[in-house]
Structure 1
Amino acid sequence: MTQPLFTLDAILAATGGRAEGVSATTINSISIDSRELGPDALFVAIKGDRFDGHDFVDTALGNGAVAALVSEGRGTGDGRIVVADALEGLRDLAAAARQRSRAFVVGVTGSVGKTTTKEALRLVFEAAGETHASIKSFNNHWGVPLMLARLPESAQFGVFEMGMNAPDEIRPLSQLVRPHVAVITNVAAAHLEKLGSLENIARAKAEIFDGVEPGGTVVLNADHPQITILLEAAAAAGIGKIVTYGFARGVDWQITEPETAADHSFATVMRGDQAYSLVLGVSGRHMLSNATAALAVSHLAGIEASVALRSLAGFGAQPGRGERLSFGPSDKPLLLIDESYNANTASMGAALDVFASIRAPDGRKVLVLGDMLELGAAAGALHAGLADAVKNSGAERVYLVGSQMAALAANLPSGIVAVHFQAVAEAVDVIIGDLAYGDAIMVKGSNGVGLSRIVAEIKSRFAQS
């Protein structure tokens, strides 16, 4: 018989709550969305930026939730577990799940590549045993507790992504997750608006060290100038074991002889005198870096290198993070590279480098770039600084979306910029109308710009053609 995720008694003990008319004795899933409920679900009524889950408690119970975790004073009725605060109650469940777990737990953060690295680790761990990993980009003050609360007691491996856009956000997440291994994928110009400098970004990322279990390890990408800050912070946090990786000389896991093709990447990864042949089904030096992080962590977890390398050979880009899709006739398809989920200077440069290696099937190379958000006073210069990478990408038509892209437009040849739109709503029909089978199009920008609308429309219109 499958072990339940939590018994009602365990929920009450962890949260200090009281049950009001709850008939279920076990729950097997946890959700904060009344529309997406798993089997025997506990609905947690947290208050978000746009919605308050307490407004949807009755809907969730009507949709099949067996109980709802609610804040004191926020409604009455059967099926409720009442706690002082629902979000704190979710954190209590997360702490309880972590406390009972015997899994090898990994925490991942970084300016770029944390979701991709998390997915690479998930793939490798799944080949070795029962694995639980964060979904999507559930990496904030409610996403991490939700993912951790879902950790089954039987899991052998757990992988959790942690994000931030201000100081003092990662520390409490890491202290909740208590990773045996903490990974920092890199430090780049993201969230400068609130953090002010790359040095401050590095210090904010280093907060992950404060939750590392005694005797644990940190795994650091060394291919950025802020590596010294991270090394010093790790030592100050009492981390006894530090593992480095990257293209830089002298790292513990060095990526050598990198080659990138249209849809594959190759490298030899050196660990001392030991050489590993790394092959990926996705293009990009940054992907080789993410996969090497997974290779290093899997070694710490005691997984054979052959198992890890075999798993990574099947690794592909994720939706919104470099996923490639083809539409139409096989001899003349429309090729879409979907990079619409997020963007900062590091990820933009990496994506443009990949786009430079791609040939259009039988048409033009079209580029859609949206603002890189939260860059503060440096935004203009950082957007303008993309000009050479855009020109080197081979794009024949460039569409720009967002006010910050004016700085890039001013630094590009007038003939290459098709249109500069202020908002995505103006752009969708124009861009779709300009596309034809045989073209290759890459869409890249910060999630807040909404370029996913363009991706969705491409999928809809060309899939139906």
Structure 2
Amino acid sequence: MISEKEIISYILNNSQKIKINSNEIKKNDVFLALKGTKFHGNKFIDSSFKNGAKYCITEKIPKSKKNINKILIVNNIDNFLKIISATKRKLFKGKVIGITGSAGKTTLKETLYFFLKKKFKTSVSIKSYNNILGVTISILNMDLSSKFAIFELGTNNFGEIRNLVKLVKPSQVFITNIQSTHLENFKTKEKISKEKSDIFKFKYNPNAEILFLFNTNIYEKIIFKIAKIQRLKKIISFGSSSSQNFVKKIIKKNNFYEIELFINEKIVKINTKENAIHRLHNLLFVLAFFKENKININIIKNNYQKLKPVVGRGKIHNLKIKKVTLKLIDESYNANPETMKQSIEYFSSLETNNINKIIIIGNMNELGLNSLKYHYEVLKFIEKFTFYKVILCGEIFKSAIKKIANPKNKFIYKQNSKKLLYYVNNQIHNNAIIMIKCSNATEVNMFAKKLISKNSGRSKI
């Protein structure tokens, strides 16, 4: 049987080896056989070795004795991983970046990584690995020779950020925004502000030196006040005033936009096909980070047009359904009232050469007692604009429609992903551009995955 010492040495001296999905195993990876809600990972140990696993770690003695000499059995797999991750974090000498916020964490993480890796070896947490297990695995997968390591830190309950930040110990931290998310547990956005502030508090993260903070609403200003009394070297804020970093001007020039950004009291101009203000905020963050770390911003200017959206967060797909050509803007990964309204407004502003615009939206999860109110407000917001069709799915939207007496837009309600798919496949007879927006793990989210997998042609930015 493999010894703890041998497997710890292997993890510390290698990167991107830890996997929890046996289907993702490649040669010389380490498979973690975790206990899931439906199955124990032990069920997939044999398949992980078939796929090339070098070792497996589990708490439960496997029934099959095949490859038993490559399997490490521990009393508590979570504690075992935390101990190794603490050692690996201590060994890492590069700059560590922590990103939190109500929305946009993964997109900012991937945007920053896209540009940093052009010049520096950079480690990054994969997918949306932002809870205790995900962050622990991300630390274990770090390359110790990296110049930068980027981690996404998420929370849906009190005390989670402080636990994550104790593992990661970032010196530079980002808070993207404070919005209406996870209100089921937090109840108020003020409490979300205080939870997110733990990322830089000396008590939990004495390494914190620089805070990059979007500072426009009263809840973000709460964070700014908390930050002022902490031992931070610098607070770099973003918003709309001349004392902050902000998007100054968007100028349309033929088939692209010239974006003027105010960064560190200087104007920076970048050409892009993107004009969604809520996505340009990520550009602000990254430019400010490059400036602060004395990295040439031409890396961003020269490569911004090559940046591709993260799956489910604005990626555009060209679909062919029967003889109808559809362009799909996929925003199906997540949604809250603020991001829903931002996406709707942006979609309305798109120039489509008279091609019909269709919105398909689904439930926004974890909004607590005021969930119906938030969904109703989204429908009222949609009434400010004109769309060819507005298709809704989800029980909360079904209830919200009843509160609107004479809707300006014709709201079409579909009960589930199957009925949505049937409607789009059979009732849209003209070329159209569709935007899908919803929370993860909803019927609309499932519909988006099915629609794209069955009909997708070439995806594009």
Q: Name the TM-score, length of structure 2 as normaliser.
A: 0.88
Once the two structures are TM-superposed, the CA of residue 317 in structure 1 deviates from its matched residue by 2.2
Once the two structures are TM-superposed, the CA of residue 297 in structure 1 deviates from its matched residue by 1.6
> Residues of 2 paired with 1:10 and 1:235: CA distance?
46
1:222 touches 1:248 (CA, 8 Å); kept in 2?
no
> Residues of 2 paired with 1:178 and 1:264: CA distance?
40
Out of 97, 115, 124, the residue aligned to residue 115 of structure 2 is 124
2:4 touches 2:72 (CA, 8 Å); kept in 1?
no
Out of 82, 92, 104, the residue aligned to residue 91 of structure 1 is 82
1:14 touches 1:92 (CA, 8 Å); kept in 2?
no
Out of 239, 242, 260, the residue aligned to residue 268 of structure 1 is 260
> AA paired with 2:432?
D
For 1:142, the equivalent position in structure 2 comes to: 133
1:284 touches 1:353 (CA, 8 Å); kept in 2?
no
> Residues of 2 paired with 1:42 and 1:261: CA distance?
51
2:421 touches 2:451 (CA, 8 Å); kept in 1?
no
Out of 300, 323, 337, the residue aligned to residue 329 of structure 2 is 337
Once the two structures are TM-superposed, the CA of residue 111 in structure 1 deviates from its matched residue by 0.8
Q: Note the 1:74-223 alignment, pairs <5 A.
A: 77-210=68-201, 212=205, 214=207, 216-223=209-216
For 1:428, the equivalent position in structure 2 comes to: 421
**Which runs of 5 or more structure 1 residues have no equivalent in the other structure?**
1-6, 17-24
> Residues of 2 paired with 1:300 and 1:356: CA distance?
36
> Residues of 2 paired with 1:27 and 1:443: CA distance?
36
Once the two structures are TM-superposed, the CA of residue 370 in structure 1 deviates from its matched residue by 0.2
Once the two structures are TM-superposed, the CA of residue 217 in structure 1 deviates from its matched residue by 0.8
> Residues of 1 paired with 2:254 and 2:180: CA distance?
27
Q: Does residue 256 of structure 1 match 2:256?
A: no
2:328 touches 2:435 (CA, 8 Å); kept in 1?
yes
1:340 touches 1:445 (CA, 8 Å); kept in 2?
yes
For 1:375, the equivalent position in structure 2 comes to: 367
The more displaced of 310-319 and 225-234 is: 310-319
Q: 1:365 to 1:172 in 2, by over 3 A?
A: same
Once the two structures are TM-superposed, the CA of residue 345 in structure 1 deviates from its matched residue by 1.1
For 2:451, the equivalent position in structure 1 comes to: 458
Alignment deviations for residues 396-454 of structure 1 (CA, whole Å, 9 cap, x no partner): 21111111113542337447334323433332212332234521111110012142332
Q: 1:332 to 1:71 in 2, by over 3 A?
A: closer
2:215 touches 2:224 (CA, 8 Å); kept in 1?
no
Alignment deviations for residues 53-74 of structure 1 (CA, whole Å, 9 cap, x no partner): 2332233223321111122666
Q: Share of identical aligned residues, percent?
A: 25
1:163 touches 1:170 (CA, 8 Å); kept in 2?
yes
Alignment deviations for residues 291-325 of structure 1 (CA, whole Å, 9 cap, x no partner): 11111122233211222333334323222111112
1:120 touches 1:312 (CA, 8 Å); kept in 2?
no
2:100 touches 2:152 (CA, 8 Å); kept in 1?
yes
Out of 30, 37, 42, the residue aligned to residue 42 of structure 1 is 30
1:380 alignment partner, SS class: helix
For 1:224, the equivalent position in structure 2 comes to: 217
> Residues of 2 paired with 1:33 and 1:44: CA distance?
8
Q: Note the 1:236-315 alignment, pairs <5 A.
A: 236-251=229-244, 253-258=245-250, 266-315=258-307
Once the two structures are TM-superposed, the CA of residue 50 in structure 1 deviates from its matched residue by 4.0
> AA paired with 2:342?
A
Q: Name the TM-score, length of structure 1 as normaliser.
A: 0.87
Out of 424, 447, 452, the residue aligned to residue 440 of structure 2 is 447
RMSD: 3.0
2:26 touches 2:51 (CA, 8 Å); kept in 1?
no
For 1:365, the equivalent position in structure 2 comes to: 357
> Residues of 2 paired with 1:424 and 1:221: CA distance?
36
Out of 38, 55, 59, the residue aligned to residue 67 of structure 1 is 55
Q: 1:449 to 1:15 in 2, by over 3 A?
A: same
Once the two structures are TM-superposed, the CA of residue 365 in structure 1 deviates from its matched residue by 1.3
**Which runs of 5 or more structure 2 residues have no equivalent in the other structure?**
none
Q: 1:30 to 1:262 in 2, by over 3 A?
A: farther
1:123 touches 1:312 (CA, 8 Å); kept in 2?
no
> Residues of 2 paired with 1:280 and 1:58: CA distance?
48
Q: 1:65 to 1:262 in 2, by over 3 A?
A: farther
